[in-house]
Amino acid sequence: MDKEKRTILIPWDFTTVADYALLHGFKIAKGIDSKKIALIHITKKEKDNEEAMVRLVQVAKENAEKFNIEIEPIVREGSIFTTIGEVAAEINAELVIMGTHGLHGMQKLTGSWALKVIVSSRVPFVVVQEPPKDNPLKDIVFPIDFKWENKEKLNWASYFYNYFSPKFHILKPNTTDVGFINKIKANMTFARKFMDGKGIAYELYTADGKKNFAIETIDFAKNMDADLILIVSTKNIGFSDYVLGASEQYIIANSARIPVMVINPREDLTKFESFG
């Protein structure tokens, strides 16, 4: 994508975590040489749009001057669960960076609600809970399991490596299920070939297998003070996943407050039903 059009979209509700997301946006924008950030504020009623736009324009102006980057204010009536994804597609956003508790009232974001917002978009989300670290993006945790959707994460691993040159820490689950073992092995082999071919730095690890893999992924990332966890969302997620808890929501709302990039499987990649 042309860097002049490489836009980062940030949901904005005038709260502290929205500020955190914007700070992450500036850091990533600088790394990928992006020239533009867009702020999207969503109202429940159209009559609130004008007042919201006045406030948002002021936020955009102050931060554009401070960080020397173009910031476009956008106000829409709608729902966080659909409108963010719609606007991301409309402006051809490169990434969406969102605070997990960045919205008010009944639509306040927790891990499960954040996941519901994320799966409405084809644009990847980076979900944050606190301000970015001062250091460069250097350690990314890359969990791999038996799912074919892991393939799409590799494209974004290459993306981040091109701009930030981080090290990827590939973590696989420890399981005794023969079917899963074979699929995980195939996925690991594919990932290694991909990264070797791109010259991407990585190390391989195996989880202990004593806990749920999502929890072990969080513990692993916390122990190494990772800068980012890169995951893929569950394809065709259903209502029960939001109620009972898809594994992604535990990682998104992790207690270590590590930023999480979530990639949604694309329909045009379903032909890749396995890594191998």
Can you tell me the distance from the alpha carbon of 59 to that of 65, in angstroms, rounded to the nearest whole number?
10
Check residue 116 and give its pLDDT. Answer: 77
Which residues belong to CATH 3.40.50.620 in the chain? Answer: 3-128, 139-269
Check residue 120 and give its pLDDT. Answer: 77
Check residue 94 and give its pLDDT. Answer: 94
Check residue 112 and give its pLDDT. Answer: 60
Check residue 115 and give its pLDDT. Answer: 74
CA dihedral sign of residues 167, 121, 188, 258: positive
Q: Tell me, yes or no, if the pTM score tops 0.85.
A: yes
CATH of the domain spanning 3-128 = 3.40.50.620
Q: Which residues of the chain have pLDDT under 50?
A: 1-3, 102-109, 238-245, 268-276
Residues paired with residue 11 on neighbouring β-strands, in sequence order: 40
Check residue 273 and give its pLDDT. Answer: 39
Check residue 102 and give its pLDDT. Answer: 32
**Per the CATH hierarchy, to which homologous superfamily does domain 139-269 belong?**
HUPs (3.40.50.620)
Can you tell me the distance from the alpha carbon of 28 to that of 55, in angstroms, rounded to the nearest whole number?
25
